[in-house]
Amino acid sequence: MSEPIISIKNLRKNYGEKQVLKGIDLQINAGQVIGYIGPNGAGKSTTVKILIGLIPDFEGEIIIGGQRLHDNLLDIKRVIGYVPENAELYEVLTPMEYLEFVGKLQGMEQEQINHRSQAMLSQFGLKDVMNQRMDTFSKGMRQKVLLISGMIHNPQIIILDEPLSGLDANAVILVKEIISRLAQEGKTIFYCSHMMDVVEKVSDRIILINDGEIVADGSFTELQNNSGGTLEQIFAKLTGKGNIGDAAGAFINAFD
């Protein structure tokens, strides 16, 4: 079997006294779509920010594409595309200007940037506004530009942190299809989301973390064989959130 494209060994991260990652071990093969899920505060974004080099101080070993993250961050950044949940876009720029900026940072040629930007913006229905400043854009329109900016350099590994936030139903369908096709081409997708129905459908492998530890790792079918039910039900069961009806009742009773 070939070497994993991402290897994470005993990853630990503390913020002061608080340990937010408690020894994550993961071997991820190229071409897999990984759904990385967990409750609010479980440590998903922390894991992702470590993988893309935004949080440099951590314990453990991370090897991406055969190279140690600590030693080769710049090389590794070229093979990774990152789409954050939301980011400060330079709103005075147009989508074309923003994508040119991102493409240049990734070492792309001008002609290739123009060609890909136009083609990708068109597919997301943004062709007519590609030369308009983004300060008037809706949340979903901005998210589409962010998605394109994370993929424009055609990276081997695409890390998506809740990428569908604010997207309309058509765009969600398009992104799901893009994820599947990129995986068929051998790209590795690391996908953090709270949208259980989407994760269930697009992921080859689902990793559930709770309080900084992996509590389930397998295909949806494997998780189902162990726990039964929908992914939402498996999530609730393994992250110990008790009876949802009782919680909703207690919430409503707080009005009394």
Ligand X SMILES: Nc1ncnc2c1ncn2[C@@H]1O[C@H](COP(=O)(O)OP(=O)(O)OP(=O)(O)O)[C@@H](O)[C@H]1O
- Residues lying near ligand X in the complex (CB under 6 A) are found at 15, 20, 38, 40-46
Neighbour count for residue 243 (Cβ, 10 Å): 9
113 vs 207 by CB, closer to ligand X: 207
**Closest CB 58 distance from ligand X, rounded Å:** 12
CB closer to ligand X, 41 vs 229: 41
Instruction: Write down the least CB distance from residue 190 to ligand X, Å.
Output: 13
Q: Which residues contact 241 (CB under 8 A, 6 or more apart)?
A: 39, 247
b/e per residue 213-232 (b: at least 16 CB within 10 A): ebebeeebeebbeeeeeebe
CB of 212 to ligand X, least distance (A): 7
Residue 131 beta carbon to ligand X: minimum distance, rounded to whole angstroms? 34
* Residue found by looking up tokens 């329109």 in the block: 141
CB count within 10 Å of CB 94 equals 18
Residue that is written with structure tokens 């993988």 in the block: 51
Closest CA to 63 of 4, 148, 144: 4
Our CB check for ligand X shows the closer of 16 and 107 to be 16
Residue number, 15 or 255, with CB nearest to ligand X: 15
Q: From the CB of 223, what's the least distance to ligand X, in Å?
A: 18
237 vs 205: CA distance, rounded Å? 18
Q: Are 144 and 168 in contact (CB under 8 A)?
A: no
Nearer of residues 41 and 228 to ligand X, judged by Cβ: 41
